[in-house]
Amino acid sequence: MEYFAKMIVAFTWLLFLPGIYASWDEWWTYDGISGPDFWGLINPNWNMCERGRRQSPINIEPNRLVYDPHLRQIHVDKHKISGSLHNTGQSVIFRVEKGGKHHVNITGGSLVYKYRFEELYLHFGADNQKGSEHQINGATFPAELQMYGFNAELYHNMSEARQGSNGIVAISVMIQIGDESNRELHNLASGFGKVVYRGQKWPINHLSLAGLLPETHHYMTYDGSTTHPGCWETTTWLIMNKPIYITKQELYLLRQLMQGDQTLPKAKMANNFRPVRALHHRTVRTNIDFTHSPGTKACTMQREMFYAARQWPKLL
Ligand SMILES: *[C@@H]1O[C@H](CO)[C@@H](O)[C@H](O)[C@H]1NC(C)=O
Ligand SMILES: *[C@@H]1O[C@H](CO)[C@@H](O)[C@H](O)[C@H]1NC(C)=O
């Protein structure tokens, strides 16, 4: 849509919305006139959503990946944590317990600092053809899990970190349908039926974030933004090169979640993904050494296979 037309719609809404919702943070959506096309126009603090050129999510193009031998393994602390699952109206989010002593640190990968896990988002579709935010070679997945952490060496908390350089890390894991779900995802799924309406929350204990990662050391990394407002371009993305699995039943429960509260449930939350953004000449690096991993399978969506591999077609 034309920028000017968008501005008019956005400002018309400005007159009404503050009366309906308590704060800015609450009323954005994934569709219509408070959807992704308008995030950057409605709140001046979110203008990167409109103007930014290092935005997320992106489509990962396998034949443009660059192998970087200096990338290290990603390390996520293994201990279990407690927190709660929240229905925010836009997403279902797991937040670590405030004041918990045992932070989960995220290090390695392309990270130079130590990051502290803060929250985990689930994006999912109303059907199996869509749901993930990132795409691999144009393909989407039924869901995507994103673990966000902030740079605990330079900043005190997420809200401070997202405004500063190297502020945030986001680890992305694609979710595919399988006969058996990832065990930690199953733990999270135990709360899906308890947070059907906006504002509801449910305690989740003994969650291992490391256990939510697929069994691979391979990943892709690039500099981008948070995929929710204000689209802060201080985010280092690490995209795991294998999916984890969710059962049909659990996915069904996710799809029952609503955007509104019990008195006004509104629409289903499903399809809470931001469309892919242009790459704008950014480089996506990977630690997959295609030339020296002849056992590595090419990009597919199947179990035991990796998403993508540059030069691999030559080896087939
Ligand atoms: C995580 O990092 C903090 C310092 O930021 C440290 O105190 C803590 O012990 C680390 N956690 C683990 C499990 O190593
Ligand atoms: C985050 O840390 C900054 C700096 O210490 C502080 O001013 C701010 O109130 C904190 N914000 C939250 C939400 O805790």
Q: What spacing in Å lies between the alpha carbon of 36 and ligand 2's midpoint?
A: 27
Domain boundaries, the chain: 52-290
| pLDDT score recorded for residue 316 | 29
C-alpha 5, offset from chain centre: 30
| pLDDT score recorded for residue 291 | 67
Tell whether ligand 1 has an atom less than 6 A from the beta carbon of residue 107.
no
Q: What spacing in Å lies between the alpha carbon of 218 and ligand 1's midpoint?
A: 24
Q: Could you tell me which residues come within 8 angstroms of residue 4 by beta carbon, excluding any fewer than 6 positions away?
A: none
- Name the residue with tokens 């002593």: 101
Structure tokens that stand for 10 in this block: 């956005």
Residue of 153, 159, 168 with the most ligand 2 atoms within 8 Å of its CB, for mutation: 159
Strands 285-286 and 66-67 come out as parallel
How does residue 312 score in pLDDT terms, banded at 50, 70 and 90? very low
Tell whether ligand 1 has an atom less than 6 A from the beta carbon of residue 105.
yes
Q: Which of 18, 21, 235 is nearest to 133 (CA)?
A: 235
| pLDDT score recorded for residue 286 | 95
Q: What value does the mean pLDDT of the chain take?
A: 89
Digit-coded pLDDT (tens) for 26-82: 689 999 999 999 999 989 999 999 999 999 999 999 999 999 999 999 999 999 999
Nearest ligand to the CA atom of 25: 2
Handedness of CA 61, 239, 130, 227 (dihedral sign): negative
Percent of all residues in the chain with a pLDDT value above 70, rounded to a whole number: 84
Nearest residue CA, atom 8 of ligand 2?
160
Q: How far is CA 178 from CA 121, 181, 182, 250, 303, in A?
A: 20, 6, 9, 11, 9
Handedness of CA 200, 209, 172, 151 (dihedral sign): positive
* Long-range contacts formed by 15-23: CB under 8 A, 24+ apart: 17/42
Choose the weakest-confidence range: 40-44, 199-203, 301-305: 301-305
Residues at CB less than 6 angstroms from ligand 2: 156-157, 159-160
| pLDDT score recorded for residue 11 | 59
295 three-class SS: coil
pLDDT of residue 302 exceeding 50, the answer is no
Q: What spacing in Å lies between the alpha carbon of 159 and ligand 2's midpoint?
A: 7
Digit-coded pLDDT (tens) for 79-127: 999 999 999 999 999 999 988 778 999 999 999 999 999 999 999 999 9
Please, are residues 120 and 76 in contact by the beta-carbon 8 Å criterion?
no
Tell whether ligand 1 has an atom less than 6 A from the beta carbon of residue 145.
no
Mean pLDDT of 193-205: 97
| pLDDT score recorded for residue 42 | 87
pLDDT of residue 10 exceeding 90, the answer is no
| pLDDT score recorded for residue 141 | 97
- Which atom of ligand 2 sits closest to the CA of residue 156? 2
Identify whether 121 is a catalytic site residue: no
Cα–Cα dist 244/140, whole Å: 14
Please, are residues 232 and 226 in contact by the beta-carbon 8 Å criterion?
yes
Torsion angle, alpha carbons of 48, 51, 54, 58, to 10: 100
How does residue 290 score in pLDDT terms, banded at 50, 70 and 90? confident
Digit-coded pLDDT (tens) for 226-247: 999 999 999 999 999 999 999 9
How does residue 297 score in pLDDT terms, banded at 50, 70 and 90? very low
The single residue of 30, 115, 121, 155 carrying the catalytic annotation is 155
Maximum distance among all Cα pairs of the chain, rounded to whole angstroms: 61
Mean pLDDT of 119-148: 97
First-to-last CA distance in the chain? Answer: 43
Q: So what's the architecture of 52-290 in CATH? A: Roll (3.10)
Q: What spacing in Å lies between the alpha carbon of 144 and ligand 2's midpoint?
A: 29
Cα–Cα dist 225/237, whole Å: 8
- Which atom of ligand 1 sits closest to the CA of residue 77? 13
